[in-house]
Amino acid sequence: MQYMLMIHDDGGAMQKATEAEAASFMAAYEAYTKAMVEAGVMRGGERLRPPGTATTVRAPNGKAQVVNGPYAELKEQLGGFYLIDVGDLDDAIKWAARCPSAQHGAIEVRPIWPR
């Protein structure tokens, strides 16, 4: 079954990190991604640009309304995602718990609707 692991964390933390802290964090993500690939569970994933680069679109009554920036002002924002294919929710939760951002943010685990 496929699950989306949505990484919610403090988008400004990486910008405030020292070069050594940022390198260590990125190395942890590289190791995590490599483990997923080697386990054969990873189907995709990407890091997102900071929330300030977002554009939010709503179309009430069919008319587009565009707002620069994220939908909500929250401490934690969506920073990236992984799409994985595992046996069940318990397996997805195990992978989410291993995500480096789970230590200081939140990983939302959501099943994908099958086609």
Structural domains of the chain in order of their starting residue, each with its CATH number: 2-111 (3.30.70.1060)
Mean pLDDT within 28-53 = 94
CA dihedral 5, 115, 39, 44 (to 10 degrees): -50
Q: What is the pLDDT of residues 47-103, one digit of tens each?
A: 998 878 888 888 999 999 898 866 655 566 888 999 999 999 999 999 999 999 999
Share of the chain above pLDDT 70, in %: 90
Distance CA(113)–CA(115), nearest Å, equals 6
Global pTM reads 0.85
